[in-house]
Amino acid sequence: MHLKLTGHHLEITPALRSYVEKKLERVLRHFDQLIDMHCVLTVEKLVHKAEATLHMRGETLHAMASDEHMYAAIDALTDKLDRLVVKHKEKVNDHHAAEARHGAQS
């Protein structure tokens, strides 16, 4: 998977980059067919925002989270992405399982 990390009104430090990469490993554990990911970290006044777009074969998922602290926003973002990826994986697996059952009955 290719990760593009961008900062808006924020410098991406090596510590911040490694934290994002470490947190996103959890998302990859659930679904390894991700093509690439674009993550944008933004600071607007006292609000820190983290948003990400995941590109997979046939699907694009987007999530956004905000908090007073950037690390908390990244944690919330990875939680949302994890739920989205698991939901997508179950949807794909259920679809193929139903297709196999339906094909066997014919």
* pLDDT over 60 at 106, yes or no: no
Average pLDDT on 21-32 reads 83
Reading the block at residue 75, the tokens are 């944690």
Helix (H, G, I), strand (E, B) or coil at 98: helix
Does residue 2 or residue 93 have the better pLDDT?
A: 2
Question: pLDDT tens digits for 39-93?
Answer: 999 999 899 999 999 988 878 999 999 999 999 999 999 999 999 988 888 887 7
2-105: CATH topology: Double Stranded RNA Binding Domain (3.30.160)
The answer to whether 71 and 53 are in contact (CB under 8 A) is no
The reported pLDDT for the residue numbered 100 is 64
